[in-house]
Structure 1
Amino acid sequence: MPRVIAANDPKAIGLGDLVDIVETGRFDARDEACFASFGPALGDLAANRDFLADIIVAELKDRCRSQSVRNAYGPQVVMLHAGRNFIVRANFWPAETDPVLQENGPEAFFYHRPHDHNFSFLTVGYTGPGYWSDYYEFDYDACVGAVGDAVDLRFVERSRLSRGKVLLYRAHRDIHAQLPADALSVSLNIMERAPHIGYRDQYGFDVSNGVISENLTETAIEPLLAICSQIGGENARDLVETYAAYHPSERIQFAALTALASTCPSIDARIEVFAQAARRSAPFVARMAARQCAAINAGRHWITRTAH
């Protein structure tokens, strides 16, 4: 369950005030107590009932030029500020009866998709009744992270992000399955911003069966490794081998191994790449490589038949 932050008697402040508080307060997302200490200030911003509408009106008058440049999240999000190590944003949560949800489906708003986060963030209910969540916790360090692996999910409660409620979602600990708000709602976030976040794993979960259902982390590196291995020659192969051996993210290591295996001249050579990787000490790489060996062997007849 995300940590509930007391926001007693909030006093309305502006967005600029919040930014000043965070920037001058030695914000450190790795320190839970430090991150939580900015929760009351976010609650104070939520007490300002005019600032968000003013920003949206200004954006519309300017044809959303600022959002087009700064916002990588899509139309559900309004980017409010991007600092060196944090961002502030607003999120819109439609109700089940709202046309935008009926036309695009709940998946477009991440409803009914249990997931954790690979970053910590503060959130507060700004307007509307707030989206619902089924909350779980898990032990990230005990998790290898392969799709299909069993995970000890501990259900905590179902509750909603009501207006003025401030929560700290803790990276790699809190899981929630978001459910549609009863009416259109808006939340505000202070989010950790760091270049290494893309290398941290974020998971989707099948809570009914207690397993990891998907890895949600995406970077541009994985497809580039695949292309590089195919068309880059020996220099590119050396680079991909370096990624496979030394990259700090096991997910990226395995992507590089997969790219190398794809260039092998035979099925047996491809299997050997994964067989060697299956003996590594890195648990995610070893688990995924062993699965690839089994999958290739199981499909050997069809692969050979297609090749001929």
Structure 2
Amino acid sequence: MSIKFNYSTDKSITIDQLKNYLDSTNISYSNREDLNSCALKLTELYNNRNFLADILIEELKNHNNIQSSNNYTSQVIIIESNKKYTIRANIWLPYANNLEEKKLYAYDNYHDHNFDLLTLGYFGPGYETILFEYDAEKTYGYIGEKVNINFKEKYTLKEGEILFLEKSKDIHLQCYPSEMSVSINIIMNEFSNKKSSQFEFDINDSSIKRILNNQSSKFLIELSSFFPSENLFEVIKTISVKNPYDYIRLSCFKTLLEMNKDSTTDILNYIRKDPSKLINSHYLKIVEQNN
């Protein structure tokens, strides 16, 4: 569930002190004391009103190689990223008529994350976020699936305030800020649920609208059905067993069935043995259709 923090302290820390804290402490957001402690450190970083400008100076000094390892869109600045955690700054601009600029942001997009997110309002009036909750344990994860979505509240991430969003539970939508705003995120990478999908939701219809992660893999797998070969079949078969994402394995099974329509028994056995609720429900649909 989402949690809000608004600590009051005069203490100020540098970004290196925050990194040292995260490096030397086994932080788990599922532990409330750890979460409170990490939120307090973010408050102390907020009190350092120069740290982000200092980072920009260092980045611009190396202008031919700015953010070379940043796989996010251009409004995200990676401050630190390693196996344990990621610290990033998100830049939020007011309403834009430019379509390309709109694509950079998650505005007008109700979505969840497969990682816990602790975020600080660092600069500007902040974006308003509309918060909902759903139960991932009761969700299969296919497009069009009806989901029990519950409205929680509207909240503006103001300067100095901190918001925690729980992975695969909290759904949120960011609204345009009135002026340019900056948030600072800490993501504990070692506790991210990389096996879970991230979804965009249709709030009005209470359903899953889109799967947000690994869409390139899904597309290439489904494309393979048009170019059947024994080697390609074996590659996709391997992915169907080893890939951690339910919907990627489901795409593999669908493609394998399409590539080998004359002999589906072995493939159906793979589908039947898969532990995923999503894939198991697909198996039952195939059995019903064949009876």
What is the aligned counterpart of 2:186 among 190, 195, 200? 190
What is the deviation of 1:2? 1.6
Cα distance change on mapping 1:90 and 1:246 into 2, 3 Å: closer
Task: List runs of 5+ in structure 1 lacking aligned partners.
Answer: 298-308
Q: Which amino acid aligns with 2:73?
A: G
Taking a change above 3 Å as real, the CA distance of residues 288 and 182 of structure 1, as seen in their structure-2 partners, is farther
* Post-superposition offset of 1:263: 1.9
Residues 162 and 33 of structure 1, relative CA distance in 2, 3 Å threshold: same
TM-score (norm 2): 0.85
Matched with 1:44 is 44
Deviation sequence 1:75-127 (CA, Å, 0-9, x none)? 1111101133101010000011xxxx322353431101001110002100000
What CA RMSD, in Å, does the superposition of the two structures yield over aligned residues?
Answer: 3.3
Taking structure 1 as reference, are residues 47 and 196 closer, same or farther at Cα in structure 2, changes over 3 Å only? closer
| Contact 1:10/1:40, CA 8 A, preserved across alignment | no
In the alignment, which of 120, 139, 155 is matched to residue 143 of structure 1? 139
Following superposition, the deviation at residue 221 of structure 1 comes to 4.6
Equivalent position SS for 2:104: helix
CA distance in 2, matches of 1:292, 1:197: 29
Q: How far, CA to CA, are the matches of 1:209 and 1:64 in structure 2?
A: 47
- Are 1:167 and 2:166 counterparts? no
Equivalent position amino acid for 2:19 in 1: V
- What is the deviation of 1:55? 1.1
Q: Is 1:112 aligned with 2:111?
A: no
What is the rounded CA distance, in whole Å, between the counterparts of 2:270 and 2:58 in structure 1? 58
Aligned residues: 289
Residue by residue, what CA displacement relative to the aligned partner does 1:179-224 show, whole Å, maximum 9, x if unpaired?
A: 1011110000101224974431111111111111111121665456
Asked if 1:216 is matched to 2:212, the reply is yes
Answer yes or no: is the 8 Å Cα contact 1:275–1:289 preserved in 2.
no
Contact 1:133-1:179 at 8 Å conserved across structures: yes
8 Å Cα contact 1:93-1:184 kept in structure 2: yes
Match of 1:85, SS state, is coil
Query: TM-score w.r.t. structure 1 length?
Result: 0.81
Is 1:244 the counterpart of 2:243? The answer is no
Percent pairwise identity: 26
CA displacement, residues 226-250 of structure 1 (integer Å, 9 cap, x when unaligned): 5778779545534432432464432
Shift of residue 137, structure 1, vs aligned partner: 0.9
SS at match of 1:18: helix
For residue 71 of structure 2, what is the aligned residue in structure 1? 72
Distance 2:146 2:216 in 1: 28
Structure 2 SS opposite 1:243: helix
Q: Which moved more, 1:36-45 or 1:190-199?
A: 190-199
| Deviations, residues 32-64 of structure 1 (Å, cap 9, x unaligned) | 542442111011111111111121122123216
The equivalences for 1:153-302 within 5 A come to 153-194=149-190, 197-218=193-214, 221-222=217-218, 225=221, 234=230, 237-245=233-241, 247-264=243-260, 266=261, 277=271, 282-288=276-282
Cα contact 2:144–2:208 (8 A) shared by 1? yes
Change (3 A) 1:62 1:256: same
**Matching of residues 117-132 of structure 1 within 5 Å:** 117-132=113-128
